[in-house]
């Protein structure tokens, strides 16, 4: 009888242990499955890492002192309409005025660059798996194109007030207005001004008229410079994925 009871207890204990082992096994299996990221999740994380790396690269390069000014590709030059008359202005003794104008435009863009990080990172957080897959399979400038689509309006709204404020502080408005006023004063002296200007426009001479809105021009060029640098970093990642510091980037971009 005692032997029977002992055997029954042992069997019950074995069943209980087996039950807990089964439950524990299920928990471990479910946990392992939940903690193992899917291919789509890995791709999304890699794209986010690449986006953050691209933004960091762009802001570090262009946000440092003379970042725009010393960068051959991102440097903000005189507006086309103004550059057509640059030689004439310089010959008339306007070297310093034009140099200060170019310096201030680029300084304004440099001042604004670090302020864009929050907008870029917000766009990264909103990125969907579909967005990530599209970027991964796209060309070298897919990252910057994603930002253009998702963030251009916000970037413009945020950067323009900074540019306007910096331009005023750097007297860009003053220098530019001198150029614009010189044009206005001389054009006012032209007999039959409206008829002459209308005729000149038909011959393409309006290209020599300096634009009135400079803030918008500088804002657009500042944004273009950021996108350009992000695209440069993306190309570097795609061309040389295995030299990237991020293991995630190496794994995902190295497999395509």
7 domain-assigned: no
Do 102 and 76 form a contact (C-beta atoms < 8 A)?
yes
| Mean pLDDT to the nearest integer, 88-98 | 74
Do 147 and 230 form a contact (C-beta atoms < 8 A)?
yes
Query: pLDDT at residue 211 above 50?
Result: yes
14 domain-assigned: no
Confidence of residue 136 (pLDDT cuts 50, 70, 90): confident
Query: pLDDT at residue 131 above 70?
Result: yes
202 domain-assigned: yes
- The span from the CA of 59 to the CA of 78, in Å, is 22
12 domain-assigned: no
pLDDT of residue 86: 73
**Pick the residue with more confidence: 226 or 100?**
226
Do 249 and 237 form a contact (C-beta atoms < 8 A)?
yes
- The span from the CA of 249 to the CA of 256, in Å, is 11
pLDDT of residue 34: 45
* Least trusted range by pLDDT, from 82-86, 100-104, 203-207: 203-207
pLDDT of residue 220: 95
- Comparing CA positions, the residue from 241, 244, 228, 243 lying closest to residue 113 is 228
pLDDT of residue 3: 40
pLDDT of residue 121: 93
Domain hosting residue 195, numbered range: 42-253
| Mean pLDDT to the nearest integer, 174-192 | 60
**Pick the residue with more confidence: 153 or 141?**
153
166 domain-assigned: yes
pLDDT of residue 225: 97
* Average pLDDT of every residue of the chain: 77
29 domain-assigned: no
- Comparing CA positions, the residue from 76, 165, 171, 70 lying closest to residue 112 is 165
- The span from the CA of 34 to the CA of 26, in Å, is 12
Q: Is the dihedral of CA 231, 236, 242, 244 positive or negative?
A: negative
| CA dist list (Å): 159 to 5, 59, 109, 220 | 83, 13, 8, 9
Burial of 89 (0-12, 13-18, 19+ CB in 10 A): buried
Burial of 177 (0-12, 13-18, 19+ CB in 10 A): middle
CA atoms within 13 A on the CB side of 199: 7
| Mean pLDDT to the nearest integer, 133-147 | 87
Six-digit token string for 98? 């034009």
pLDDT digit string (tens) for 143-159?
999 999 999 999 999 99
13 domain-assigned: no
64 domain-assigned: yes
Query: pLDDT at residue 190 above 60?
Result: no
Number of compact structural domains in the chain: 1
Contacts of 212 (CB under 8 A, 6+ apart): 180
- Comparing CA positions, the residue from 58, 96, 104, 56 lying closest to residue 77 is 104
Percent of the residues in the chain that have a pLDDT greater than 90, as a whole number: 41
Do 234 and 51 form a contact (C-beta atoms < 8 A)?
no
């Amino acid at each position: 009888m005692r032997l029977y009871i002992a055997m029954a207890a042992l069997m019950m204990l074995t069943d209980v242990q087996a039950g807990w082992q089964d439950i524990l096994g299920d928990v471990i299996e479910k946990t392992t499955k939940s903690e193992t990221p899917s291919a789509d999740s890995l791709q999304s994380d890699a794209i986010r890492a690449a986006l953050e790396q691209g933004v960091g690269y762009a802001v570090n390069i262009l946000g440092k002192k003379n970042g725009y000014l010393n960068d051959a590709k991102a440097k903000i030059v005189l507006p086309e309409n103004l550059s057509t008359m640059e030689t004439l202005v310089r010959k008339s003794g306007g070297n310093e005025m034009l140099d200060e104008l170019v310096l201030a435009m680029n300084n304004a863009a440099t001042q604004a660059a670090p302020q864009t990080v929050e907008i870029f990172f917000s766009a990264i957080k909103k990125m969907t798996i579909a967005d990530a897959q599209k970027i991964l399979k796209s060309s070298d400038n897919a990252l910057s194109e994603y930002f253009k689509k998702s963030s251009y309006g916000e970037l413009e709204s945020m950067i323009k007030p900074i540019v306007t404020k910096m331009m005023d502080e750097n007297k860009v408005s003053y220098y530019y207005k001198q150029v614009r006023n010189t044009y206005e004063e001389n054009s006012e002296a032209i007999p039959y001004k409206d008829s002459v200007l209308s005729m000149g426009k038909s011959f393409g001479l309006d290209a020599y008229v300096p634009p009135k809105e400079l803030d918008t021009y500088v804002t657009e060029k500042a944004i273009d410079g950021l996108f350009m640098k992000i695209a440069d970093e993306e190309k570097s990642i795609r061309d040389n994925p295995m030299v990237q510091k991020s293991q995630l980037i190496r794994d995902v971009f190295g497999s395509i």
